[in-house]
Amino acid sequence: MGSDAPQAVWVEKYRPHSLKEMVGQESIVPLLSAYAERRSLPHLMFAGPPGTGKTTAALALARDLFGEEWRQNFLELNASDERGIDTVRTTIKEYARSAPIGGVGFKLLFLDEADNLTSEAQASLRRLMERYSSACRFILSCNYSSKIIEPIQSRCAVFRFRGLSTEQMHRRLEVVAAAEHRTVTPEAFRSIIAASSGDMRRAINLLQLAATFSDTVTDESIRSVATTPLREEVVGMLTSAIEGKFLAARDRLYAMFAERGASGEDILKAIHSYLPDLPDKSFPPREKLRLIDYLGEVDFRLAEGASERIQLEAVLARIALGAGASG
């Protein structure tokens, strides 16, 4: 076990402090750096999957913009916890109307997961963005920009964050592992990256969790702590279904639920991700198209609270039936 038993959270410990330190998002970081240099920026919207650097970009922008006074000129709120109109009318309004500190002339308010705000709260927020724009700039972060009302979107410069590439994630994980004096095998790196799907936060958390038990992180240690299905597990399940071995495929599915602790959503995303790699000879292209259409229905049902096991068993049954169809 590592010598520094009570560890800090590595995600925060190694979060970039400046835009210059950020990994990925090459089309976004230079524009944000230009805003910081000019000390002038519009309202911003950061949209994209979790773990792609939206919060990091907002914090780094604040540090580059305000320097040592960034904490006095930056407020972070999470709309998932405070999603009602009362929060907008009280906390956000009081902050937006107060005077900034220093020579920049405005403050920053970062609203994370803004797509969880109610429609009424968003309408009120839009009015505050108009009224107090001279003293406060808003940065809204969301996974789905379509859930933000159009009047807010039109008042923001929208930046769309993408998942990090395999190479970018590998380089960053190497930096963290070296700083923490951990040895990580090549197979472990591949497993971390495969389980993270471009989510840098999830990757670093997984590395720290595996490193808690040993200074050497192996593929086996990643398998023991990963809650998301790994590629070979999903491919094995799909292969059994394609071969018509439904019961064997179902057993693999149950193992991912029970032993891996994977969620139905994670497994469904993995099936969707690996579907193009299924051999056309055993699973014809036309059946792949039908399955993709069906996966969309299952995704909606899961979001509405349907049984994960029943829905994913239905997917395996559909694959087993489709594999026997002619191309």
For 216, list phi and psi in degrees, rounded to 5.
-110, 120
| Residue 320 pLDDT exceeds 50 | yes
Hey, do 166-225 and 231-323 end up sharing a CATH topology, with the first three levels equal?
A: no
Q: How many CB atoms lie within 10 A of CB 144?
A: 11
Q: Which residues contact 108 (CB under 8 A, 6 or more apart)?
A: 58, 61, 62, 65, 73, 74, 75, 136, 137, 138, 139
Domain at 231-323, CATH from 3.40.1440.10, 3.30.830.10, 3.40.50.1980, 1.20.272.10: 1.20.272.10
Tokens of residue 209, six digits: 């969790």
pLDDT at 2: 46
pLDDT at 183: 95
If you classify domain 166-225 with CATH, what class do you get? Answer: mainly alpha
Tokens of residue 73, six digits: 């000129």
Q: Give the predicted TM-score (pTM) of the model.
A: 0.76
pLDDT at 3: 46
On average, the pLDDT of the chain sits at 87
Q: What is the mean pLDDT of residues 128-144?
A: 92
Fold of 25-160: Rossmann fold (3.40.50)
Question: What does the alpha-carbon distance between residue 256 and residue 316 come to, in Å, rounded to a whole number?
Answer: 14
| Local confidence band at 265 (pLDDT 50, 70, 90 cut-offs) | confident
Taking the domains of the chain in order of start, what are their residue ranges?
Answer: 25-160, 166-225, 231-323
